[in-house]
Amino acid sequence: MPADGQHLPVMEAFHTLQGEGAYTGQAAYFIRLAGCDVGCTWCDVKDSWDASKHPVHTVEQIVEEASRHPARIAVVTGGEPLLYDLLPLTTALRKAGFRTHIETSGSSPISGEWHHICFSPKKFKAPVKDFHALADELKVVVFNKHDLQWAEEHAAHTRPDCALYLQPEWSKRDTMMPLVVNHVLEHPRWRVSLQTHKYMNIP
């Protein structure tokens, strides 16, 4: 069965707490779509990259499973979820009473109707033109010192009401955290995002 707007490859879907960014600590249902053309070297879900390794589900099946859980925030992530037309999925999720959130690198054009767009650009593949203006949240993963300046370059193109987050890359958090803290102290529009789900040992 082909992956299209009504049929999507799903690596995993689970009920948990949002671990990062603006909605940290809130109950959410995560829908991790398979397939990625970005290929971050430090990605912690590399199993999501090859869509052919994962089952294809209908939008109806995805939303039916999500509705079995009490959270009414649905977070669509990947992989890179915007490889697919997400309008059918967001339409069905909204009809079922969900807020629709997406986490994306912005490397493909937007599709779907979203209550919250978390834009996390990556050096490995540039975002599409004008994606910055869509972001409700800019989240930059800090792997090295240069990423702080790179983050500022992206922030300059966001809306004034876009929330800005710096997130130390997990494997280098002890090294990067002092740099991130200092940067936020000097540039107080930024906030620190932690991968709190990893500290809590939850998905």
CA 59 from centroid of its chain's CA atoms: 19
Nearest to 189 by CA among 158, 146, 144: 158
Q: What angle do CA 157, 160, 164 make, to 5 degrees?
A: 75
Q: Which CATH class is domain 7-199?
A: alpha beta
Q: Where are the domains of the chain?
A: 7-199
Whether the predicted pLDDT of 1 surpasses 50? no
Q: How confident is the model at residue 3 (pLDDT cuts 50, 70, 90)?
A: low
pLDDT value at position 2?
Answer: 54
Q: Measuring CA to CA, how many Å separate 74 from each of 41, 114, 171? A: 27, 10, 27
pLDDT tens string 38-96: 888 778 788 888 998 999 999 999 999 999 999 999 999 999 999 999 999 999 999 99
72: exposed, middle or buried (Cβ count in 10 Å: 0-12, 13-18, 19+) = middle
How high does pLDDT run on average in the chain?
Answer: 95
pLDDT tens string 126-138: 999 999 999 999 9
